[in-house]
Amino acid sequence: MAGRDLSAGSAPLPGPQPLPGPRGGMPGLGAVARARDLKGTLTRLFRLIGAHPVAITATLACTVASVAGSSLVPWQLGRATDYVIGAVAAGVPVELSVLTRRLGLAAGLLLAGVLLNIVQAWLSNAIVQALSRNLRDQAALKLARLPLAWFDRQPHGEVLSRITNDIDNVSQSLQQLLSQLLMSALQLVAVLALMFALSPALAGIAVVSLVLSVLLSRLLAARSRPHFVEQWRRTGTLNADVEEDYSGHTLMKVFGHRERARAVFEDDNEALRASAFKAQFLSGIIQPVMLFVGQLGFVAVVAGGALLILAGGLSIGVLQSFIQYIRQINQPIGQIAGAASVLQSASASAERVFELLDAPEMKPDTAAPAKLAAPQGHVVFDHVTFRYEPGRPLFEDVSLEARPGQTVAVVGPTGAGKTTLVNLLMRFYEIDGGAIRLDGVDTRDLTRADLRRHFGMVLQDSWLFSGTIRENIAYGKDGASEAEILEAARACHVDGFVRKLPEGYDTLVDETGGVLSTGQKQLLTIARAFVARPSVLILDEATSSVDTRTELLVQRAMARLREGRTSFVIAHRLSTIRDADLILYMEDGNILEAGDHAALMARRGRYWQLYQSQFGAPES
Amino acid sequence: MAVIAAVPEGRLALWWRLWAPYRGALVLLLLCQVVQALAALTLPTLSARVIDLGILRHDGAYVLRSGGLMLLAALVQILFSVAAAWAGARIAMGFGRDLRSAVFARVQDFSLHEMRRFGTPSLITRSTNDVLQVQSFLVMVLTTITTAPIMGIGGIVMAIRQDAGLSDILVVSVPALAVIVGVLLSAALPLFARMQGQIDRINQIVREQILGLRVIRAFVRDDWEHQRFAGANEALTGTARRVGRIMALNMPLAHLVMHLSTIALVWFAARRIAAGTLEVGALVAFLAYIMQILISVMIASMLIVMAPRALVSAGRIRDVLLSAPGIVEPAAPAALPARPGGGVEIEFRHVGFAYPGAERPVLDDVNFRLEPGKTVAVIGATGSGKTTIVNLIARLFDVTTGAVLINGVDIRTLPLATLWSLIGFVPQESFLFSGTIADTLRYGRAEASDDELWQALEVAQARDFVAALPLGLAAPVAQGGGNFSGGQRQRLAIARALVRRAPLYLFDDSFSALDYATDARLRAALPGHLGAAAVLIVGQRVSSLRHADLILLLDQGRVAAAGSHESLLRDSAAYREIVASQHAEEG
């Protein structure tokens, strides 16, 4: 993007190089397989959850109460059984009222537990959804704060994958974790406590098996983690393949590149499958392994319990409760095991999201910004030096002045630094020395937003967003009125073709332009700048795809728009800029010649040569 | 590459075909699950015996023997569980890969119609995120949920064997669970469909924001863009929240049914124990089985946590896979007939083209002939249908009426690969793929030598700036060619087409970003390189087109005038007007 001119400068000035393609190791994001920091990522994730202290506290309280409620149910059941057995053994008739009371109590506890459980699940749902909304929001805001150079190095599909696939994964995982992990952990604690209350000896057996499962599952989880990291990285790569191939769909077909594109895709697809398989298998056996240990515990409890009863140290009812508990304990253990693998996957994704959120941002705006009340459009470059990369100077001591209302044309071969001039003016990039002043104020003393509000820009690539034609024109100005939109549309010859569309200004367009031709898209973007009514206009090769008849009309409209406005025109057709007040001839980042058309022609220098090559060319 | 059947197959047939490679593995998985479930099911029976036969009869040796059997069962269980986990991961991840591959292959075959109908962002979501949903669901089903029916049925059988009378409780609780699952499922399904659509929207907005970065910043619309995103985000969050609330009911309600059943069980059992018709050990075992059954139903009901989303995603994938491409391979492909004298010749015969449902055709009764070694130029106002002519030759669209002929045969009878192999194409927008410059240039012909690349660069007037890059041909190209200027990109795109050495060249407004001097040099160098190729140029500048053998002036889709530069100057007022306007402009 920015700095493109320079990347090809004839001097050794290759500008910001996008380091090897998305498939190699891309440098910006997720490239390097550096040591991943599980603990840091999780801490940060939990801190995000902790940002909802009230909801979290309420969730915790509900969970505790709910677990307590439902944990007591088997205990009550065991008491009921013991009562029956006792009565039978003593040969007394079973009192139904006692039985009813005990079972009724169990039912009451159960009901309360379930209700609280629902409340807890709703609360954690609200937390997770708020959290993922905020993550998406932060990611979107982050994109707005990243320097342009960052995007030059990112495959779009990779960034997209982080914002959709990865955040989606974090959200779904957390949903599972919050409602289950907490619940399971508490169930575990509650059941263990009750087990100890019933029989410390048997509970001891349960604890041993528990510790064993935790150790085993940790081992497996740690082994699965690198594969999860790999899986989500591969997902990003694949998304980048898909995004690029779908974007260049037509070319891929016509250039007979389908088979090769397919081969690259299949390679990445298979790599994704392989890593996903390993991650899934390793984390998938956590649960069976823990269940196995749980079963061992079960066997030990039954056998041990039976021997205890034989020795007279335990009642059958207690053993019944215990067997139920040990079954119950297997469920949370299984869920915690499941959670462990989900956590691996979630943290791998969360890491990729945080990586995006942590990418270095643009320099912040000045703390005490100046204000331009009534901008005149007086632009001064004062001994500006600039380089895209350290050690490779591009602009050395560039000075120029555009007085209010003047039209400044910038010409020169591609790669001369014309686009860079715009980049610096708009503060897409920051200068390294000297100053750029607007009405005497250093542009660095203004906020970027304020500075840019004074500029209207029409770029080489016409960009439309998905929305109506009306919205796309109105884009130039916040709150543009219908009258302003129509005026711009008429002035820029948009009105004519839009009225012929069945839906008129409500016709939906998108990045491809939908029903619009490339030229029509360009006209739309010109109308957009018209609506903005800026004090300085920047036209970057804006009219290259409009047919010459239309262009003439646009030129007229532009001339009207330029009245009283300072304009920078970067055009390859010298005819369009002959009337400019100042023409700058640039090469290799230097202004070699400056003056109006007549003066430059008289000088018989580079501009004259260029002019000759265009209009004195054999066929003209 | 699979040639797509013209008749779209049915939905079930589609899944059946995709599923075919995994049927064997699935049988294996189910076997493993059955064995491990049976092993798990024997545990309560053994423990009941421990109580009834061991404890009540004071037989310590029996207790230990049963304990040994239980250990054996547990061992069998884990071995087969691990095998099942292996098979499950294998199947799910393999199936996910196959789905992605199928979607990608199908999208490759799409014509511009389908690309526009689905939209690129939605196709991206469908290729990755939607497949991911299906894949995670499959993992869940294969590793956990397959055990549920086995455990459930096994549990029921064992429970009935243990005591048929107590099993009556299941008649109430199992249907109750089924109803809960059914109600929640039907409430959640439409919401999930909306949710995937909203993810598409997020994808679309972020993608637009990345592509339009400079415009957004230039017009200081960050806030507005953020509002736009926040709106979509809020909508997605709202749906997700509602879905989450519905889903959150599942487990607690299942829990409720489960434990109420055990309470009822004890209530009935207590009376029978009191009456002496039931042994205590049987009750304990029965409790364990009923837990087993209900847990398995509960696990099955976990389906509803993932199923709706996966179902919706599967539907979205299916829509792609079952959409027949608008441009299809001929049923009986013909070979390209050789033309006497060699080369290829294009003819438009009464060609018309209209978008489906459009009132006015884009092209109407266009006729012309393009012979090897000749150049046809198309000029006309913005939106007059110039690009459509190029698109019809490349079969990006098919004609609505008339025919496009190549060497005398309808292009629709040629295999697409054959047709495309004839074309050197330079599109209006110079999209470059990421990689190195050499990758870019070899895009259409992988085997081209470095010499050939330099030659093409030379003709395209790109040699100088490529040579000036420290890495030369190995210099990186960012996605879309973002690290090059418009003019450089256009020249690279031209060189990319030249490397193909095709007998037919289509230049769609391909010189617009070049300055006149470069344009002139390029046009001077082109004929030598193109040789006997047939060339079609779409353009705006008369100076670029005036030497064409035939110039078509398009107006609203019709050929308003046709002829050489000189004859048009003489006969066409409209053409003279264009020339005059450019002349005035160019002095």
Query: pLDDT, tens digit, for every residue of A139-162?
Result: 999 988 888 878 877 778 888 888
* DSSP label at residue B145: I
Binary contact (B475, A510; C-beta < 8 A): no
> What integer pLDDT is reported at residue A19 of this predicted model?
32
Residue A552, classed as helix, strand or coil, is: helix
- CA–CA gap between residue A221 and residue A290 (Å, rounded): 12
> What integer pLDDT is reported at residue B583 of this predicted model?
64
* DSSP label at residue B546: T
- CA–CA gap between residue A279 and residue B139 (Å, rounded): 12
Binary contact (A291, B255; C-beta < 8 A): no
Is B293 within 8 Å of B174 (Cβ atoms)? yes
Tokens 């109803």, located at residue: B179
pLDDT at A327 over 90: no
A512 against B141, higher pLDDT: B141
The shares of helix, strand and coil residues in chain A, as percent rounded to the nearest 5, are: 65, 10, 25
> What integer pLDDT is reported at residue A185 of this predicted model?
82
- CA–CA gap between residue B240 and residue B316 (Å, rounded): 18
Q: Which of A382, A426, A407 is nearest to A596 (CA)?
A: A407
Phi, psi for residue B113 in degrees, rounded to 5:
-55, -50
- CA–CA gap between residue A617 and residue B2 (Å, rounded): 52
Binary contact (A414, B515; C-beta < 8 A): yes
Which residues of chain A have a CB within 8 Å of the CB of B299? none
Residue of B nearest to A16 (CA): B483
Local confidence band at A273 (pLDDT 50, 70, 90 cut-offs)? very high
Binary contact (B263, A179; C-beta < 8 A): no
Binary contact (A133, B237; C-beta < 8 A): yes
Q: Could you tell me which residues come within 8 angstroms of residue A364 by beta carbon, excluding any fewer than 6 positions away?
A: none
Residue of A nearest to B128 (CA): A239
**Chain B residues 39-98 with CB within 8 Å of chain A:** 40, 43, 46-47, 50-51, 54-55, 58, 60, 63-64, 66-67, 70-71, 73-75, 77-78, 81-82, 84-86, 88-90, 92-94, 96-97
Q: Is this prediction's ipTM beyond 0.85?
A: no
Binary contact (B208, A413; C-beta < 8 A): no
**Amino acid type, B236:** L
Q: Which residues pair with A537 in a beta bridge?
A: A456, A567
- CA–CA gap between residue A311 and residue A304 (Å, rounded): 10
> What integer pLDDT is reported at residue A543 of this predicted model?
54
Which residues of chain A have a CB within 8 Å of the CB of B380? 547
Binary contact (A159, B210; C-beta < 8 A): yes
Local confidence band at A1 (pLDDT 50, 70, 90 cut-offs)? very low
Question: What spatial distance separates the first Cα and last Cα of chain A, rounded to whole Å?
Answer: 34
CA dihedral A264, A268, A270, A273 (to 10 degrees): -160
* DSSP label at residue A505: G
Which residues of chain A have a CB within 8 Å of the CB of B233? 133, 136-137, 140
Binary contact (B468, A419; C-beta < 8 A): no
Residue B193, CB-side half-sphere exposure with 13 Å CA sphere: 7
Q: β-strands A379-386, A433-438: how paired?
A: antiparallel
Which residues of chain B have a CB within 8 Å of the CB of A265? 101, 104
> What integer pLDDT is reported at residue A29 of this predicted model?
44
DSSP string, A255-323: TT-HHHHHHHHHHHHHHHHHHHHHHHHHHHTHHHHHHHHHHHHHHHHHHHHHHHHHTTSS-HHHHHHHH
Phi, psi for residue B536 in degrees, rounded to 5:
-115, 125
Binary contact (B199, A307; C-beta < 8 A): no
> What integer pLDDT is reported at residue B288 of this predicted model?
74
* DSSP label at residue A50: T
Q: Which pair of tokens denotes residue B579?
A: 């020339």
Binary contact (B217, A428; C-beta < 8 A): yes
Binary contact (A517, B541; C-beta < 8 A): no
> What integer pLDDT is reported at residue A491 of this predicted model?
83
Instruction: Calculate how close chain B gets to A562, using CA atoms only, in Å.
Output: 17
> Is residue B157 within 8 angstroms of chain A, CB to CB?
no
Binary contact (B585, A159; C-beta < 8 A): no
Q: Which pair of tokens denotes residue A565?
A: 């406005």
Residue of A nearest to B234 (CA): A133
> What integer pLDDT is reported at residue A549 of this predicted model?
67
pTM for this predicted structure: 0.76
Local confidence band at A486 (pLDDT 50, 70, 90 cut-offs)? very high
> What integer pLDDT is reported at residue B326 of this predicted model?
83
DSSP H/E element including B364 = strand B363-370
Q: Could you tell me which residues come within 8 angstroms of residue A2 by beta carbon, excluding any fewer than 6 positions away?
A: A16, A148, A149, A152, A419, A420, A423, A428, A429, B214
Local confidence band at A16 (pLDDT 50, 70, 90 cut-offs)? very low
For range A382-397, the mean pLDDT:
78
Residue B415, CB-side half-sphere exposure with 13 Å CA sphere: 9
Tens digit of pLDDT for each residue in A189-199?
888 888 888 88
Residue of A nearest to B233 (CA): A133
**Chain B residues 346-405 with CB within 8 Å of chain A:** 355, 359, 379-383, 386-387, 394, 396
**Percentage with pLDDT > 70 across chain A:** 87
A181-to-A188, A207, B312, B498 alpha-carbon distances in Å: 10, 19, 27, 61
Which residues of chain A have a CB within 8 Å of the CB of B70? 295, 298-299, 302-303
Which residues of chain A have a CB within 8 Å of the CB of B396? 250, 253-254
DSSP string, B332-360: SPPPPPPPTTSS--EEEEEEEE--TT-SS
Q: Which mean pLDDT values do the consecutive 10-residue runs of chain B (587 residues) have?
A: 45 85 91 86 76 73 82 89 92 95 93 85 87 89 79 79 76 84 86 87 87 83 89 94 88 84 84 78 76 73 73 89 87 86 91 81 92 92 85 91 93 91 88 89 91 94 88 86 81 93 90 77 87 89 85 91 92 86 58
Local confidence band at A513 (pLDDT 50, 70, 90 cut-offs)? low
For range A244-261, the mean pLDDT:
86
Residue A169, classed as helix, strand or coil, is: helix
Is A131 within 8 Å of A174 (Cβ atoms)? yes
